[in-house]
């Protein structure tokens, strides 16, 4: 985990590349916590800095610690946020490293945290990184290109059973077994190194009736991406770690883009917002009161206008909570 210096690379403007999802709603939910003097918020998924820029503009005394595992996103965000000077601390880290990032920045509690999960627009739009099944590119899919196994390496080395499990668990793909078999057969002929090759293998293995209903590659690509980046395991550690850092009256806003992420977030927020009092106690003792209260009823979705304006908002599920009891 390193504090990140702005390195020179191509001259694109992050604000042109990226439209932040549910921006107004995020600002509204976080506002009561961020208005406090000396407030500190963690943007756990800095991406190209859209949410952070809006928070810094809305709250002139706010400090934001922005985490991202993608060095290219950090550099783009750095340029976008330059005018805020030391009110922004950019950190090259995966979001389950949130505790260390906050401590290294000199804080022990935070007033808010924002997670905007899923793949950033930068990664989807960079054809050569292999995230999108609609564009032929090397099958990389790593959000942090400085470490870890690529999607091509997973496809080359994983036994059939593991491929099937990845597609079932992370893609909820009903044809997982069929696709795993087809990949094993195809790689015996030639390595599967490009997204176009993988799409072709999946197309051939898909019954025509299914092909007419949905793109065969969508769930497989999602599953590979989650596997390559360890996304669910990271999230499972990150959400509790983030909630633990939030001080009294502080708030968490979390946006998920697929059901596996949302289920995990929902479960942790539900656990923290329930009383731990044993049944039958006449009075709830203070130490049994819930740590958090939910600020949203279920998961909130983007409205029609936002979906039309920004198609990436279509699958979003937003949940939020506020700390109501300190646990030390």
DSSP run (H or E) holding 317: strand 317-323
DSSP string, 29-58: HHHHHHTSTT-EEEETT-TTSHHHHHHHHH
At 50, list the tokens. 């859209």
Write phi, then psi, for 11 (nearest 5 degrees): -90, 50
Q: Using CA atoms, how far apart are residues 123 and 43, in angstroms rounded to an integer? A: 18
CA distances (Å), origin 219, targets 15, 80, 231, 321:
29, 33, 15, 30
> Binding residue per annotation — 49?
yes
> Binding residue per annotation — 106?
no
At 233, list the tokens. 């395991």
> Binding residue per annotation — 51?
yes
Q: How many CB atoms neighbour CB 163 within 10 A? A: 24
CA distances (Å), origin 97, targets 75, 114, 152, 238, 325:
19, 14, 27, 7, 24
> Binding residue per annotation — 303?
no
Q: Using CA atoms, how far apart are residues 31 and 10, in angstroms rounded to an integer? A: 34
Q: Using CA atoms, how far apart are residues 293 and 269, in angstroms rounded to an integer? A: 9
Three-class SS state of 187:
helix
Cα dihedral 99→104→109→115 (10° resolution)? -50
> Binding residue per annotation — 4?
no
Binding annotation for S-adenosyl-L-methionine: 49-51, 68, 95, 116, 123
Binding-site annotation, residues: 49-51, 68, 95, 116, 123
């Amino acid at each position: 985990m390193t504090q990140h210096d702005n390195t020179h690379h191509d001259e694109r403007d992050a604000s042109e590349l990226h439209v932040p999802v549910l921006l107004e709603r995020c600002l509204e939910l976080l506002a009561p916590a961020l208005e406090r003097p000396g407030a500190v918020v963690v943007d756990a998924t800095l991406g190209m800095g859209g949410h952070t820029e809006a928070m810094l503009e809305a709250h002139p005394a706010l400090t934001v610690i922005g985490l991202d595992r993608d060095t290219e996103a950090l550099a783009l965000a750095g340029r976008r946020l330059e005018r805020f000077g030391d009110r922004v601390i950019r950190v090259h880290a995966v979001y389950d490293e949130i505790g260390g990032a906050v401590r290294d920045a000199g804080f022990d509690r935070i007033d808010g945290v924002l997670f905007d999960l899923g793949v950033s627009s930068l990664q989807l739009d960079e054809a050569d990184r292999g995230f999108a099944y609609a564009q032929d590119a090397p099958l990389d899919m790593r959000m942090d290109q400085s470490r870890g196994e690529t999607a091509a390496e997973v496809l080359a080395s994983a036994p059939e059973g593991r491929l099937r499990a990845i597609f079932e668990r992370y893609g909820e793909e009903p044809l997982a077994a069929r696709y795993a078999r087809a990949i094993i057969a195809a790689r015996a002929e030639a390595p599967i190194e490009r997204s176009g090759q993988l799409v072709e293998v999946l197309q051939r293995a898909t019954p025509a009736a299914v092909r007419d209903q949905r793109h065969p590659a969508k769930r497989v690509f999602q599953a590979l991406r989650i596997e390559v980046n360890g996304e669910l395991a990271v999230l499972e550690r990150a959400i509790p770690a983030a909630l633990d850092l939030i001080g009294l009256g502080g708030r968490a806003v979390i946006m998920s883009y697929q059901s596996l992420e949302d289920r995990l977030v929902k479960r942790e927020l539900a656990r923290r917002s329930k009383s731990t009092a044993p049944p039958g106690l006449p009075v709830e003792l203070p130490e049994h009161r819930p740590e958090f209260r939910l600020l949203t009823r279920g998961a909130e979705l983007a409205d029609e206008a936002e979906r039309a304006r920004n198609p990436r908002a279509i699958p979003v599920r937003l949940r939020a909570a506020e700390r109501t009891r300190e646990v030390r």
